[in-house]
Structure 1
């Protein structure tokens, strides 16, 4: 599909008002995307686990405006309070998607949103937030186009979410989502995420993600700035090739339930992501001393116990611990005994793989 497939015609008989609510999860990338082209196109393909507990719930109330209006009209309520500093990002998002949803200027919207995790937790809420908002807007369009298929609905929701936040396109469905054009998956696209089409061993169907909150403050460098620094990065092309190679390797790993090689690739991807940050110009370090302490303790624990626990990192200091259901009790004990001391105020969040977004009645 191309961008043109997602264009919509103007609508007749717009409803006067309504309300819709969706809950969308965050996700954690296994193969990272770092670097993007114009219009939120990824420089390399990525693959992620869809999470379950870390989610954003968004309600959109819409009331038809009188006459034509050249402006978008919306109020934003975050966790019960007006949030003016979020509005510019929504304004930019609406500007990007207007040609795909031509009803946007016909309504005044009240957007009410909240996260299941603390906003100050250091977990990026842009993926779940933009996915939930996109699903609400697509729900409105589906009311205007009753013949829309479920498959098209999900693809367009992912397409729109990506225009708000790249990784948000991976938060529509579960449980393993691939985004970015990749030769081995014919239906893959730079425009939206797709469900991983190949065989996945049972062990990967019941994975957990416990997020160790090392640092809850704002990052010193935004992800958008970090992505842009890949344009002239001396190691960019090799990194983009590496992502394709790791996706090739994961096909066999997922099929065979090969936890040892899964661990090698996932941890390598996490460290490569941060290596790109440390070797860009300007360069920066988002890991904290406690991040490194946790990583070293994981390596030591895994070597001594053979428990298949691994880590991954987003563009920040927090550590995601990934492990199968069968070792959950051992890992939680390890966290409490050894790792919680490295978490800000001892905080961590227990999550697991989920099935994707859902509409709330």
Structure 2
């Protein structure tokens, strides 16, 4: 069993004066949701997600050795321009991970980040952003200590990403990633995400996710606040049990390709997530009227055409439309004919299952 102390390192001589790395890391969409967390970004229940391919953050980390280590030193650019309002989140992230990466204070960093999806699209970029930054930090650690193994590299990257944004740990490696201790997922951990340990059925290869941008505004309630409301939630314990049960079920489904069962689990999980929000105190609703219209249209289309298309939601109003690649043409036509009108400015993003973070540059 891997413990937090496994990721602690000793201060070591700084043998590099300057350099840069660049990584991309994708967003992900949870099939079994985590909602509620304990101290230090530990999930209250396990989750599992599809890693996306096109919606990603690309981050370049340039570093220069400095003569003093009084605090963290970094500049933050978003799409090439200074972004001061992002800096407190990065500062907090560095403070959280300093004990595991003591070399951070030895350098001045220039962090230049951009998203492949519109910044104000309503798609959460914290998962992809923190995962991309964690990958760069691990590249620096490996440059300082070339002996670290690939397994350690990716586990610690996921571990660090989690400390920035919980779901970011599922954006590091693998097309299907589980996070949180679960008796049926080999190697699963609350500390980092793990690649799905079994062979995924052919029907889930190249699975499609078309994201309907219903509301591109900032959420009324942050995910952090929402997670905290689970502490005294009247249905919390049963929900946590349900997540364990659904992860067991979806593990079997991902292995055997039962799309009907997949649809039931995924849609139930999405609605349960929002039910938790609506029954917390204070309560809140993040779905919009157009979210419900889209859900009803999907149900009608699926029943009338016997096409295995379903929806899931994150903690917002946007709808992820999930379907196998072999029905892509029909589903996209349905989206254009019947669903685009419910999207803000008619906008949607076509994505599919991906492979995780990718090294772009090592200089």
- Do they superpose with TM above 0.5? yes
Residue ranges of structure 2 left out of the alignment (5+ in a row) = none
Q: Please tell me whether the aligned partners of residues 208 and 351 of structure 2 are also in contact (alpha carbons under 8 angstroms).
A: yes
Mapping for residues 148-159 of structure 1, pairs under 5 Å: 148-159=148-159
Which residue pairs with 1:61 in the alignment? 62
- After TM superposition, give the deviation of residue 70 of structure 1 in Å: 2.1
Distance in 2 (CA, whole Å) between partners of 1:105 and 1:206 is 42
Distance in 2 (CA, whole Å) between partners of 1:182 and 1:252 is 14
Secondary structure in 2 matching 1:233 = coil
Distance in 2 (CA, whole Å) between partners of 1:307 and 1:341 is 21
Distance in 2 (CA, whole Å) between partners of 1:127 and 1:220 is 19
Distance in 1 (CA, whole Å) between partners of 2:293 and 2:141 is 49
Distance in 2 (CA, whole Å) between partners of 1:9 and 1:182 is 31
Mapping for residues 85-164 of structure 1, pairs under 5 Å: 85-164=85-164
What is the TM-score of this pair, normalised by structure 1? 0.99
Distance in 1 (CA, whole Å) between partners of 2:165 and 2:85 is 17
What is the TM-score of this pair, normalised by structure 2? 0.98
CA offsets 1:43-65 (integer angstroms, 9 cap, x no match): 00000000000000000000011
Which residue pairs with 2:198 in the alignment? 198
CA offsets 1:210-265 (integer angstroms, 9 cap, x no match): 00000000000000000000000000000000000001111221121100000000
Mapping for residues 222-301 of structure 1, pairs under 5 Å: 222-301=222-301
Distance in 2 (CA, whole Å) between partners of 1:119 and 1:279 is 30
Distance in 2 (CA, whole Å) between partners of 1:137 and 1:92 is 15
Which residue pairs with 1:308 in the alignment? 308
Distance in 2 (CA, whole Å) between partners of 1:98 and 1:110 is 17
Matched, 1:330 2:330: yes
Distance in 2 (CA, whole Å) between partners of 1:352 and 1:117 is 14
Distance in 1 (CA, whole Å) between partners of 2:81 and 2:256 is 49
Which residue pairs with 1:216 in the alignment? 216
Distance in 1 (CA, whole Å) between partners of 2:359 and 2:200 is 26
Which residue pairs with 1:36 in the alignment? 37
Q: Please tell me whether the aligned partners of residues 174 and 196 of structure 2 are also in contact (alpha carbons under 8 angstroms).
A: no
Which residue pairs with 2:25 in the alignment? 24
Which residue pairs with 1:354 in the alignment? 354
Secondary structure in 2 matching 1:199 = coil
Secondary structure in 1 matching 2:102 = coil
Distance in 1 (CA, whole Å) between partners of 2:335 and 2:186 is 41
Distance in 2 (CA, whole Å) between partners of 1:188 and 1:256 is 21
Question: Alpha carbons of 1:302 and 1:294: their partners in 2 closer, same or farther (altered >3 Å)?
Answer: same
Distance in 2 (CA, whole Å) between partners of 1:306 and 1:269 is 22
Distance in 2 (CA, whole Å) between partners of 1:355 and 1:117 is 18
Distance in 2 (CA, whole Å) between partners of 1:29 and 1:355 is 15
Secondary structure in 2 matching 1:311 = strand
- After TM superposition, give the deviation of residue 198 of structure 1 in Å: 1.7
